[in-house]
Amino acid sequence: MEQEHGFQHFLRGIILFGFTMLLLSLILSGQIQYYIAPRMMPFIYFSVAVLLVLSILQILRSTDKAGKEDTCGCEGTHALPDKRWKKVVIYTIFLLPVLSGLLLPEKVLDSSIAATRGVQLSDQFNSRMLQFDDQPKQSAEEETRAAADDLAELEARELGEHFTYEDIVATVDIDDYYGQLLKEALEQDVVKITDDNFLDMLSVLNMYADQLLGKEIELMGFVYREEGMPLDHLVVARFSMTCCTADSAVYGLLVEGEEAKQYGEDSWVRVTGTLVEKDFNGWLIPALVIKEIGEVEPPETPYVYPNFRF
């Protein structure tokens, strides 16, 4: 019995050590970025340190406390599983994620996930999702009024312990922050949408489209097409991540032109085009008419992240 208890404690220590090595391997390989936003990395480092300490303590426990009952001072005992099938089930549940994480290849979110979640082609902060189905047509004035109503509602909401990026943005002077970005964009011959400003500039294009019409825009992303979309149309899209893949969303810009036909889904392209306003299934949205387009290698960091530096 003592050997049996000692072995189970040792196995638990090995499992904890496995989780430690899994996180460490993801950090060292850089693949942790596929699951966690950079702002969450301090918590990952802390988790690795804690798991390492716990695994060492658990392995040591398997040697000098193997035959003692597990007590925690709560006037009860916490018995280890005694039946063989219980042991197999319990430890398999914890071993599987460790083994799958270490052995299976990593996969970047792609158009198959975008098709499930939908792509946001309108203002990211008023969360109007376009699923490429029939929607009521709205004028630019109605869009602006609706956005203002949404912001007013968010400003009236108290920020509790749990909040979203939209809650934070609602506390910001939108006209001041995005107005400055608009001013900078108007001074540029070609407005370059980069990894750092991707979400902010898409918002600027939506909020001030009337002032930017005819402007040349350059951006990079993966190709996404909804079922039924014409071949000369595509969406240049990026996945945005606030904390982890569970809260990821897809944002993009509609692009049209004959050159679009030669690019398949999930290929990465860099597009330069002229900004127009397009009536797409009843929605007035910003779009690009292709001037130049070419396939590029995927970036090292495929996702974009909200800007919390307001």
DSSP characters for 175-220? HHHHHHHHHHHHT-SEEE--TTTHHHHHHHHHHTHHHHTT-EEEEE
Q: What is the mean pLDDT of the chain?
A: 78
Give the mean pLDDT of 156-184: 61
For residues 136-165, average pLDDT: 50
| Number of domains composing the chain | 2
Are residues 86 and 216 part of one domain?
A: no
Please report the pLDDT score of residue 119 as a whole number. 78
Query: Do residues 128 and 146 share a domain?
Result: yes
In terms of domains, do 25 and 130 share one? Answer: no
Answer yes or no: is pLDDT of 34 > 60: yes
214 and 287, same structural domain?
yes
User: What percent of the chain clears pLDDT 90, i.e. is strictly above it?
Assistant: 36
Of the pLDDT bands very low, low, confident and very high (cuts 50, 70, 90), residue 145 is low
AA letter at 239: F
pLDDT at residue 163 in the model: 47
**Is 273 in the same domain as 240?**
yes
Q: How much is the average pLDDT of 58-84?
A: 65
Inform me whether the pLDDT recorded for 139 exceeds 80: no
Which of 47, 70, 103 is the last residue before a domain boundary?
103
Classify residue 304: in a domain, yes or no. Answer: no
pTM over 0.75: no
- Beta strand pairing call for 233-240 and 216-224: antiparallel
Residue 301 belongs to some domain of the structure: no
Q: Domain boundary at 103, 124, 154, which?
A: 103
Both 68 and 150 in a single domain?
A: no
* Cβ atoms < 10 Å from Cβ of 85: 8
The mean per-residue pLDDT over the stretch 76-95 comes to: 76
- Domain extent for 197: 111-295
Contact 150, 122 (CB under 8 A): no
Per-residue pLDDT tens over the stretch 227-280: 888 889 999 999 988 888 888 888 999 999 999 999 998 999 999 999 998 877
| C-alpha distances in Å from residue 209, one per residue of 185, 201, 204, 226, 278 | 12, 11, 7, 24, 11
Residue 66 has pLDDT above 50, yes or no: no
- 103, amino acid identity: L
Residue type at 16?
L
Specify the pLDDT at position 70.
Answer: 53
For residue 59, tell me if it sits in a domain: yes
Residues 131 and 280 in one domain: yes
Q: What is the pLDDT of residue 257?
A: 93
Q: What is the mean pLDDT of residues 38-59?
A: 93
CA terminus-to-terminus distance, the chain: 61
Identify the CA nearest to 150 among candidates 168, 134, 170: 170
Reply yes or no on whether the pLDDT at 296 is more than 80.
Answer: yes
pLDDT at 237: 93
* Shared-domain flag, residues 213 and 99: no
Same domain? 267 vs 161? yes
- 3 state DSSP class of 279: strand
Side-chain half-sphere CA neighbours of 84 within 13 A: 0
Residue 126 is predicted with a pLDDT of: 40
Domain contains 305: no
Residue 50 has pLDDT above 90, yes or no: yes
Q: Is it the case that residue 300 has pLDDT exceeding 60? A: yes
* Contact by Cβ (8 Å): 23, 51: yes
Apex CA 191: angle with CA 108 and CA 154, to 5°?
70
**Last-in-domain residue among 77, 103, 129:** 103
> Which tokens in the block code for residue 181?
């970005």
Say yes or no to pLDDT of 16 above 80: yes
User: Is 36 part of any domain?
Assistant: yes
Residues of the chain above pLDDT 70, percent = 74
Could you tell me if 57 and 192 lie in one domain? no
Q: Please tell me the distance from the alpha carbon of residue 54 to that of residue 12, in angstroms, as a whole number.
A: 10
Same domain, 78 and 155: no
Q: Are 270 and 251 in contact (CB under 8 A)?
A: no
- Domain-located, residue 208: yes
Res 164 pLDDT > 90: no
Residue 308 lies in a domain: no
For residues 167 and 22, give the distance between their C-alpha atoms in angstroms, rounded to a whole number. Answer: 34
Q: Which residue has the higher pLDDT, 238 or 172?
A: 238
Are 75 and 14 found together in one domain?
yes
Confidence band of 310 (pLDDT split at 50, 70, 90):
very low
Q: Which of 35, 28, 18, 9 is nearest to 99 (CA)?
A: 18
Tell me which of 86 and 269 has the higher pLDDT. 269
**171 inside domain:** yes
Distance CA 126, CA 128 (A): 6
